[in-house]
Amino acid sequence: MPAFRPLLAAIAALIASAAQADINIGISLPLTGPASGLGIPMKNYIALWPQSIAGEKLNVIVLDDATDPTNGVKNAKRFVSEDKVDIIMGSAATPVAIAMADVAAESGTVQLAFSPAQLPPGKDYWTFRLPQSNAVMAHAMVEHMKSHGVKSVGFLGYTDAYGEGWLKDFSAVADKAGIKVIAAERFARSDTSVTAQALKLATANPDAMLIVASGSGAAMPEKAVVERGYKGKIYQTHAAATRDLMRIGGKDVEGTYVVSGPAVIAEQLPDSHPSKKLAIDFVQKYEKAYGAGSRNQFAGHAYDTVIVLEKVLPVALKKAKPGTKEFRAALRDAIENMGRTVFSHGVMNWTKEDHWGFTNETGVMLKVVNADWKVE
């Protein structure tokens, strides 16, 4: 069958060129290990992604990094050397995302990080983050404090990077608004008692107390503060905006103010919030596929990723062909110059100086009322 040969070759060439034009996306997520609770919902939403954007087929590769930086780096290296991806995404675990950033920078590939990865200045040339920075959230909180006449704040936070990051960012924002942090105490998630810290803070008697902890760890310090007879306002960060706060805190956390991203409280958002429409769209799409009440912050980041791709891929495609170095550089420039874009998680505006990008329109204050969230 010698006649077939050229035909086969032609078909093969055609397939190859088609494959060339595909946009390859490499995503590393913690599907197992301690942060699997963040990675699995993201993978769920990625399964709902469109097949193609801007007329180009999306070729999505999802690998598990097991919440381990070493695996994350291995995945990222595979993405750039074997799969020749145009974009690296992930991870949802902060230490893994930080480790992956090096590979992205070395290979000149854009990294969309799904976690608030703190990188030294200049190191994030190729990295853009999708979650909100602490400073953006602190802004919403400080605005609320200002309007409620809070002048002094006591800080009770984790001894880790999350607690320290909040203390730094919050103090900076609060200072400008004339609010003073008059006492700062630390604790660890595994502590059996925070009575001593709560006692010291209650003695200082600030107008408000800021508790920086995550998930189910956020209830214990608040209970301790209330137990010491503290009667002022209590604020919690967006890492505490889960139902675990009420599950463990019970009636002690009634009246707590919690700052949150808008996606998970879609229906309750005031009509004036720019993200309302997209947040509702995200929640409906996700819960249609995975059941009522299954919404969560990280699936929202996967939703926002599609918004980014829809906006930047057409721009980059005009400049270069996928799979080339020029295309990757064009993508990076397109993301940096994307301009004000509404996400389900807030309003994004990445610039040359700021690869965090969320604007101060983003954060929403919630109040715990009858063991449920109420938008302030």
Partner 1 sequence: MDFTIAGILMLDGVTNGAIYALLGLAIVLVFAITRVIFIPQGEFVAYGALTLAMLQIGVVPGTVWLLLVLALLAALLDALKALRRRITASRVGIGAIKTLAWPALVMLLSLWAAPRQLPLIAQSLLTLAIVTPLGPLVYRLAYEKLADASVLVLLIVSVGVHFALTGLGLVFFGAEGFRNPSFWDARFAAGALSVSGQTLIIFMVSVALMLSLFLFFEHTLRGKALRATAVNRLGARLMGISTSGAGRLSFGLAAFIGALSGLLIGPTTTMFYDTGFLIGLKGFVAAIFGGLASYPAAAVGALFVGLLESFGSFWASAFKEVIVFTVIIPVLLWRSFQHGQVDEEE
In the complex, least distance from residue 243 CB atom to partner 1, rounded to whole angstroms: 10
Residue at 21: amino acid letter: A
Q: Which is nearer to partner 1, 195 or 284 (CB)?
A: 195
> Could you tell me the smallest distance in angstroms from the CB atom of residue 247 to partner 1?
9
Minimum CB distance to partner 1 smaller for 241 or for 309: 241
- Residues with Cβ within 8 Å of 330's Cβ and at least 6 positions away in sequence, in order, are 315, 316, 319, 320
Positions touching partner 1 (CB under 8 A) are 34, 37, 159, 185-197, 199-200, 203, 215-217, 219-220, 244, 248
Secondary structure (3-state) at 181 = strand
Q: Of 140, 136, 112, 147, which Cα lies nearest the Cα of 126?
A: 112
Read out DSSP for 95-114?
HHHHHHHHHHHHHT-EEEES
In the complex, least distance from residue 318 CB atom to partner 1, rounded to whole angstroms? 45
CB of 260 to partner 1, least distance (A): 18
**Is there a contact between 258 and 235 (Cβ–Cβ < 8 Å)?**
yes
Which residues does residue 235 pair with via DSSP β-bridges, in sequence order?
210, 257
Nearer to partner 1, 237 or 362 (CB): 237
Query: What distance separates the 2 farthest-apart alpha carbons in the chain?
Result: 92
Rounded CA separation 246/344 (Å) = 25
The alpha carbon of 78 is separated from its chain's Cα centroid by a whole number of angstroms, namely 24
- Compute the least distance from the CB of residue 19 to partner 1, in Å: 40
Place of tokens 């996400």: 343
Residue 299 phi, psi dihedral angles, 5° rounding: -60, -35
Estimate to the nearest angstrom the gap between the alpha carbon of 70 and the chain centroid.
Answer: 21
191 vs 376, which CB is nearer to partner 1? Answer: 191
> Which residue number, 228 or 285, has a Cβ lying nearer to partner 1?
228
Cα-trace Rg, the chain: 23
**Judged by CB, which is closer to partner 1: 151, or 189?**
189
**Looking at beta carbons only, is 28 or 67 nearer to partner 1?**
67
Minimum distance from residue 354 beta carbon to partner 1 (Å):
30
Residues in the chain: 376
Taking the complex as a whole, the smallest distance from the CB of residue 200 to partner 1 amounts, in Å, to 6
User: Is 124 in contact with 346 (CB distance < 8 Å)?
Assistant: no
Cα–Cα distance for residue pair 316/335, rounded to 1 Å: 9
CB of 242 vs partner 1, minimal distance in Å: 9
Closest to partner 1 by CB, 40 vs 48, is 40
CA triple 81-87-88, angle to 5 deg: 70
Q: Which is nearer to partner 1, 37 or 314 (CB)?
A: 37
Complex with partner 1: residue 137 or 219, whichever CB lies closer: 219
**Run of H or E residues at 368:** strand 364-369
Residue 248 Cβ, how far from partner 1 at the closest point, in Å?
Answer: 5
Distance CA 121, CA 6 (A): 54
Least distance between partner 1 and beta carbon 197 (Å):
5
Report the distance separating Cα 228 and Cα 195, nearest Å: 8
* Number of other residues whose CB lies within 10 A of the CB of residue 292: 8
3-state secondary structure of 324: coil
